[in-house]
Amino acid sequence: MRVFGVDPGLTRCGFGVVDGGPGRAVKIVAVDVVRTSVDDELAIRLMHLADEVEVWLDRYRPEVIAIERVFSQHNVRTAMATAQAGGVVALAAARRGLPVMFHTPSEVKAAVTGSGRADKAQVTMMVTKLLGLVEAPKPADAADALALAICHIWRAPMQSRMAQAQAKAAEMARTHKLKLAQAAKNGGRTK
């Protein structure tokens, strides 16, 4: 599976592409940080980011996009910029029919370090180790994008099994409900 991880941001947006799968080691394909100028208008910055996303989608052909879910941030302005950047990425993926998965920062930290409360330095250190890199990806946005991709690769099989189990449980509940309705209709007798 090839995953394009995105740590959304308007000033700095981390991009990372990782290959991997169940029982296989993860391997880095590409990493970078896209920057936009704070002097440009918002629409221009979003367009620049969208153009870069399209280049990466064309160049690396990911199977899924993993984006950090905007979590409550104290700075509303930062949260808005992060959400706008994530929306641009999700839109580009949707136009190509690519699935988009959102992961919270604590899910990513837990997947990569074993602790949902890990700090940025711990995440960067583990990403470096897991991918066998000689140097740590810099800035932290780059390491975070790679961590998102790794998180998705490792969590996707479990999420798929959970979705299947939920679908099966829902089907069983519908069947049971129909049987109960039929029994009530037949005066308490089931067939």
Does the domain formed by 2-185 have CATH 3.50.50.60?
no
Is residue 141 flagged as an active site residue?
yes
Exactly one of 19, 52, 68, 144 is catalytic; name it.
68
List the one residue out of 10, 58, 12, 11 whose CA is nearest residue 32: 12
What's phi and psi for 156, nearest 5 deg?
-55, -45
Residues of the chain predicted below pLDDT 70:
72-73, 157-165, 167, 188-191
Exactly one of 19, 32, 63, 141 is catalytic; name it.
141
Which residues are annotated as part of the binding site?
Answer: 7, 68, 141
Is residue 39 flagged as an active site residue?
no
Q: Where are the domains of the chain?
A: 2-185
Which residues are annotated as part of the binding site for Mg(2+)?
Answer: 7, 68, 141
pLDDT at 33: 98
pLDDT at 190: 56
Q: pLDDT tens-digit profile of 90-108?
A: 999 999 999 999 999 999 9
Is residue 68 flagged as an active site residue?
yes
pLDDT at 172: 87
CA distance 18 to 157: 16
Exactly one of 7, 19, 52, 144 is catalytic; name it.
7
Written as six digits, the tokens of 149 are 């991709």
How many residues are listed for the chain in this entry? Answer: 191
CA distance 65 to 57: 10
DSSP 3-state percent helix, strand, coil across the chain (nearest 5): 55, 15, 30
CA distance 140 to 4: 16
Q: pLDDT tens-digit profile of 125-146?
A: 999 999 999 999 999 999 999 9
Would you say 112 and 123 are in contact if contact means Cβ atoms under 8 Å apart?
yes
Instruction: State the pTM of this model.
Output: 0.83
Average pLDDT in the chain = 90
CA distance 17 to 167: 31
pLDDT at 162: 55
